[in-house]
Structure 1
Amino acid sequence: MALGFEELDFQQTPMGELFLRRRVEPTLGADVYEVKLGDEYLMSSLFTEAEEQLAHLGLAPLDGSDLAVLVGGLGLGYTAVAALSHDAVGAMTVVDALPAVIDWHERGLLPVSAQLTGDPRTRLVLDDFFALMRRDPEARYDAILLDVDHSPRHSLDPSHADLYTPDGLRRLARHLREGGVFALWSDDPPDDDFMADLGTVFASTRAHVVEFANPLTGGTSTNTVYVAHSAG
């Protein structure tokens, strides 16, 4: 266990200063890994339930084997590792726009890095997920799992916003195979307007509220996982 506080990495990026930190959480006596981009706290290993549920809920509607999965946003790696826990997943591509984040995992700096990079089904790709969705698809996937922005209404960069519109969702849907699933993590409660936009593109949609313990408050917190299933 680390003592006190340790800055594992710091890099300047086009989106701002990126920090990876490890500290001891006194309420648990355990190491906590945190990522901060500029003034925004992006993620913490204290709270991984919803990130893991993004994979479990996103893959649940799918049948069959040898599924192809695309994960948008690598982060601490918990969504990707949860996807790998499904034997039906045959190949997983994880896209992240920040070279530093991929480098953290390749250097084994995070708790799940070895599990992630040591699985032959995993491919880490440096790319802008949102730009990728605007391109003609080179490959199609059974599931696309996205965890980059705080919510459809609170994006980290203005260039992300168009994905959460009906036109942007239609472009994303081109990258899915018939009967494929799009799942999205959000820090906000379910958004009725966004649900309506999803409904214009996908055959069925649902917003799952994921509740988890919050050791900082002694209570519980919630995130939202949207799951949209295309026809097929």
Structure 2
Amino acid sequence: MSTRFEELDWRPTELGEISLRRRRDPASGADVYEVKLDDDFLMTSLFTEGEVALARLGLAEAPRGELDVVVGGLGLGYTAEAALRDSRVRSLLVVEALGEVIEWHERQLVPVGSRLFGDARFRPVHGDFFALAAAAEGFDPEAPRRRFHAILLDIDHSPRHVLRPGNAALYEPAGLRRLARHLHPGGVFALWSDDPPEDRFTSTLATVFPGARAHTVTFDNPLHGGTSANTVYVGRTPAA
């Protein structure tokens, strides 16, 4: 049993002061892991349904056969872990801007770190997802211009509530077209959002990924004593 509250790591970074905390949930007695950036809560292990649904819904729309997948944002690792549970995934590249977050997993300070680094299909890339998405060389520094079957993104709070102003360009038609260059024909782009479905963004997404849809993911929220919801947007590039 852990202590009631413990700060496992704290670092100043280019994005702000990031911290990893572990606390004991008084109701269940389980350990809860939380990440804060300055005073902003980024994520918690208390409910991970949205992160898991991002992988599940995105890969459900992916082409048949073996899959090469990119995850934007490592965080506590639940989207990456869920993707690796799909037996079709033969390689998983996870792009993370903060080396400190990758280190948490390497040092097994978070629950899924050992499972990720123990899977030969998993490879972290320390880099800016948004810059790599806009670049012709793409996400894999070892294989420039490599294409993927699915890109799963969970970094910003939503397309309208971004962590950094420069991220906003990705969610416009030109940014989405640049991202789509890194997908095979029929490849999938899926995006997690903490906001309710937004018709305007769904329409924008559909200009590049025909038939794009927004899925609402509901789950119990013990903090509020009720239910909460996330949104997962999913779109596919035209098949060849």
CA–CA distance in structure 2, aligned partners of residues 217 and 10 of structure 1: 27
Tell me the TM-score normalised to structure 2 length.
0.95
2:142 aligns with none
Tell me the TM-score normalised to structure 1 length.
0.98
Note if 1:200 corresponds to 2:207: yes
Alignment-mate amino acid for residue 67 of structure 1: L
Q: How does 1:94-173 map to 2 (within 5 A)?
A: 94-136=94-136, 137=138, 138-173=145-180
CA–CA distance in structure 1, aligned partners of residues 94 and 62 of structure 2: 19
Contact 2:192 2:232 in 1 (8 A): yes
Consecutive unaligned residues in structure 2, runs of 5 or more? 139-144
Q: Percent identity?
A: 60
Note the alpha carbon deviations across 1:16-46, whole angstroms, 9 max, x for none: 0000000011122110000000121000000
Q: Cα distance, 1:61 vs. partner?
A: 1.3
Alignment-mate amino acid for residue 62 of structure 1: A
Q: How does 1:1-232 map to 2 (within 5 A)?
A: 1-136=1-136, 137=138, 138-232=145-239
Alpha-carbon RMSD across the aligned residues, in angstroms, is 0.8
Alignment-mate amino acid for residue 51 of structure 1: E
Q: Cα distance, 1:64 vs. partner?
A: 2.4
Alignment-mate amino acid for residue 203 of structure 1: P
Contact 2:193 2:232 in 1 (8 A): yes
Contact 2:63 2:187 in 1 (8 A): no
Runs of 4+ in structure 1 off by over 4 angstroms are none
CA–CA distance in structure 2, aligned partners of residues 42 and 107 of structure 1: 20
SS at match of 2:191: strand
Consecutive unaligned residues in structure 1, runs of 5 or more? none
CA–CA distance in structure 1, aligned partners of residues 227 and 132 of structure 2: 36
